[in-house]
Chain A
Amino acid sequence: MSDLDTFRSETRAWLEENCPPEMRAPIVSEKDVVWGGRDQSRLTAPQKIWLDRMAARGWTVPDWPTDYGGGGLSAAETKVLREEMARIKARNPLNSFGISMLGPALLKYGTEAQKLEHLPKIARGEIRWCQGYSEPNAGSDLASLATSAEDAGDHFVVNGQKVWTSYADQADWIFCLVRTDKTTKQGGISFVLFDMASPGVSTKPILLISGYSPFCETFFDDVKVPKANLVGELNKGWDVAKYLLGHEREMISGMGLSGGGDALVEGALATVGVDAEGRLADPLLRAKIALYEVRALAFAAQSERFIDELKAGHAHPAQPSMMKYYGTELNKARHELAMAAGGSDAVEWESERSGGGRAARAWLRTKANSIEGGTSEIQLNIVAKRILELPG
C-alpha cells in the first residue's frame, strides 16, 4: 500500500469516528454555516465538536504549516482529505475569510510575528475576519480608494468609509486597504489589520433585495492602528491586495461547483412530474436542466484541473479571473433554473413550507456573484489583456 493509500484509510477511519452525524447533512440555511469568532455562543454542540476536533488536527487548514495551526499536509494528502470528507458528505467545519483570503496573503507577505499571532487563531476559528476593500467611490476601480491612514509616530490614524463589508457587524478584526500616499494611485495604498472593537469603528448593515443584510457600511473615525499591523511594505499594499483577490476569486468560483443538478431535478419533479417514459414532463425545462448539467459537470472538471495546475505551479496567474467569471455566471444560471423549476412554490417569501423563502432569497443572492470580488466585466478585461494579450 502506498503512503497515500495508508493516509486515505486512516483519514477515512478518523472521519468516520469523529464527524458528528449532524455534520453530515447538507447545509440548508445560513445558521448551518460555522464562521467562528470570539462569540461562539451561536454554535450548536455538534458544530463546536466538529470544529474543535478538526482544528486540533490542523484540518481546518490542512495545507498550512503546522507551526501556524495547519495540518502540514501535501497537496495530494489535502485532496484525499477533501475527497474523504465529500464521501461522507461532511460539512466544512469552518468558513472563514481568514482561511480563504487573509491566510494565504499573510503566509506570503506577513512577518513571522504576524503569522504566529494571527494564523493559529484563524485555524481554530477564534477570530472572525472581514475585508475592507470597496468604498462608495471605489468599487470596480478599487485603486481610487480614499480611506486614509496618517502617520502618527508608532501608529496610523485611520479615517474614512468602506462599503459592502461582508459581515462587518459580526467580525472581530478587519484586513483593510488604506491610502498612505495621496500623490499616486496604486502606489500609495497600504494593507493593515486592526481590531473591529477599536474606538472609532462603527458598522451599519445594508438591507439587500433578498431581505438579508450580509453586507455593511463600515466607518472609521480616528481609529488608532499600531504600525506593527502593517502587512508587507508601506505603500505596497496593492501587491498584497491583488494576491488576495486571486484567492477570493478562486473561492467565489467554487460557487459554480455546488453542482445542484439533483436539486433542480427534484424541484422540477415536484412541479411538473414525469411523462409515460419517466422523463420530466416539461421537455423544454428538462432540456435546459440537461444542458445546464453538461456545463456544470464540465466546469467541475475545469475546477479540478485549475486546482491541480495551481498546485503544480503552472496555472496562469490570471486564470482565477476566468474561473470566477464562469463559476458565478453558471451559479446565476442554476438559480434562475431553480426558480423556473420551482414555479409558484419558489416565489413564496415567508411561508414555513418554503423555509422562509429559501429558494427565492438564494436566487436573489446569486445576482451579486457577478458583481462582488470584481465584476464579470472586470474579469473579462483581465482575461483579454493578461491571457489573450489583446492590445489597449
Chain B
Amino acid sequence: MPLFLNDEQTMLRDTARDFVSENAPVAHLRRLRDSDDKTGFDRALWKQFAEMGFTGILIREDAGGLGLGHVEAGVVLEEIGRNLSPSPFLTTAVAAVAALHNTAQAERWFPGILSGETVAALAIDEGAKHRDRVALRAERAGNGFRLSGAKQFVTHGHVADLLIVAARTGGSDDEAEGVTLFAVPADAAGLTATPERLADSSVAARLTFEGVAVDADAVIGEVDAGRGPLDRLLRAGRTGASAELLGVGGGAMDMTVAYLKQRKQFGTLIGSFQALQHRAAHLYAEMEVARAAVLKAQQLLDAGDAAADQAVSVAKAMTGLATTLSVQEGIQMHGGIGMTDEYDIGFFMKRARVLAEMFGDTNFHADRVARGRGY
C-alpha cells in the first residue's frame, strides 16, 4: 500500500475539511470559551458529525457504520486539529469504539454513537503523566463489581453518557495482567465528576469512584483480560491524537507562513529574511516527517500488522516534537501580536500542549520505543 492517501481517502478529507472549517472554525472555540460554556463542546455539532457519518467511521458496516479504518478516522481528526474544533470525536468515535469493537458491549453503545446521542469519555489516567499503571480497584460484589479509586484528565468526563474505565481485578498496580475494562453509565451511584477547565478551554474531569456498583455485563471483553480492549483503545487513541496534533501543527504552520508573506518590517516582507525562511523550512521538514509517521502508524494499525505498536509510539512522539516546534515558532514569528488573546495563534499553542499530554507524551513514547527494542 503506497504511503499516501488514496482517491477515496482524499475525497473524505475534502469533505471533512469543508465540513469542519465551515461549522467549527477557531471562531467556534472562541465563542464557546467566551460564553463560558460548561460542556466543552457543542452537542448540536456532534449530532451533525453523526449525520455526516463520521461517528461511524470505525464501526463495522453490519453494525451500521462505515467500516473504514484509522487512516479515515485520522483524516477527520486532522481537520478537527487544524480548526481546533472542540469535539468528542477522538474519545467516542475512535478510542471508545476501538475498545468496544467485537465485544458484547458494542451492541448496547454503538447505536447511540452512530446517531450522535452518546458521548464517551476515557477514565484511564491516574496521575498527571500518562502511565500503564492501573490502581483503581474493582472488587467482586454479588452479581457484579464495586469500583473504588480515582481517575483524572478525563475529557468530557462530567458530561459523558458512557465512561470507559480501566480497573484492577487482580495483580499489583504496575502489572499488565489483572486489568478489567468496564463500560460505566455516567449516572452510576457513587461516581463523582469534578470538571476543570484546561488551558485550551476544553473541560476534563477528575473522577472519584466510591464503591460504584456495576453489573457483570458492564465488563468489556473478559475479566482480568482487559489489556486486549485497553490496548486497542490506547493504540486508536494514540494514533488519533497524533493525527489531531498533525492538524494543530499544520494549522499553526500555515498561519505562520501566511503571516510571513504579509507582514512588513524595515520596509520589506519578513518572509524574505533568510533567518526566518530557514526556520520555516526546517519546521516544514519536521511536519512532513511527522505526517509520514502518522500515516505509517494508521496503515499498519488497519492492516493488523505486529509492527503497528512501535509505529504508534513513533507517531505520537514525533507529532509531539513537530507540533510543539510549530506552535512555538508560530508565536515567535508572529511577534507581539502572537501573544495577544485576540489573535488565534495562541489557541494552537494551548491545544498542542493538552494533546501532547494525552495518551502519553514524547518522552513516554520514546521510552516505549526503547523498551520495545530491548534497551
Q: Which residues of A contact B (CB under 8 A)?
A: 261, 265, 268-269, 274, 278-280, 286-287, 289-291, 293-295, 297-299, 301-302, 304-306, 308-309, 311-312, 314, 322, 325-326, 377, 379-381, 383-385, 387-392
Contacts and interface: CB of A to CB of B under 8 A. Distances in A.
Interface residues of B, number: 46
B277 A298 contact: no
Given A287-B363, A391-B269, A298 B290 contact: yes
A387 B280 CA distance: 11
A6 B285 CA distance: 38
B314 A298 contact: yes
Contacts of A294: 313-314, 317-318, 321, 362, 365-366, 369
18 contacts: A265-B373, A291-B317, A294-B369, A297-B369, A298-B314, A301-B314, A305-B292, A305-B296, A322-B288, A380-B278, A380-B282, A384-B278, A388-B277, A388-B281, A388-B284, A390-B277, A391-B261, A391-B271
B285 A384 contact: no
A289 B278 contact: no
B281 A384 contact: yes
A293 B373 CA distance: 10
B310 A297 contact: yes
Contact of A286 (B260, B271, B310, B370): B370
Contacts of B313: 294
B271 A290 contact: no
Task: Specify the main secondary structure of chain A where it touches its partner.
Answer: helix
B306 interface: no
Given A265-B373, A301-B295, A384-B281, A287 B366 contact: yes
Contacts of B310: 297
Please name the 3 residue pairs, one residue from A and one from B, whose CB atoms are nearest each other, closest first: A392-B272, A384-B277, A302-B292
Contacts of A269: 375
A291 B281 contact: no
A295 B296 CA distance: 13
Dominant secondary structure at the B interface: helix
> Which of B257, B261, B288 is the most central at the interface, judged by chain A CB atoms within 10 Å of its CB?
B288
Contacts of B337: none
Given A314-B4, A381-B278, 9 more contacts: A293-B369, A293-B373, A294-B314, A294-B318, A294-B362, A325-B282, A383-B284, A384-B280, A388-B284
A308 B291 CA distance: 14
B284 A387 contact: yes
B318 A298 contact: yes
A301 B281 contact: no
B44 interface: no
A291 B365 CA distance: 9
Contacts of A297: 293, 310-311, 314, 369
B128 interface: no
B199 interface: no
A322 B283 CA distance: 11
Interface of B: 2-4, 257, 260-261, 268-269, 271-272, 274, 276-278, 280-282, 284-285, 288-293, 295-296, 310-311, 313-315, 317-318, 321, 362-363, 365-367, 369-371, 373-375
A298 B375 contact: no
Contacts of A268: 375
A390 B271 contact: yes
Nearest to B318: A298
A309 B281 contact: no
A267 to B, nearest CB: 11
Nearest to B276: A390
Contacts of A301: 3, 289, 292-293, 295-296, 311, 314
A388 B280 contact: yes
A289 B292 contact: no
A290 B367 contact: yes
A297 B294 CA distance: 11
Contact of B375 (A279, A314, A377, A383): A279
B4 A290 contact: no
Contacts of A290: 366-367, 369-370
Contact of B285 (A325, A377, A381): A325
* Residue in A268, A278, A390 with the greatest tally of chain B CB atoms within 10 Å: A390
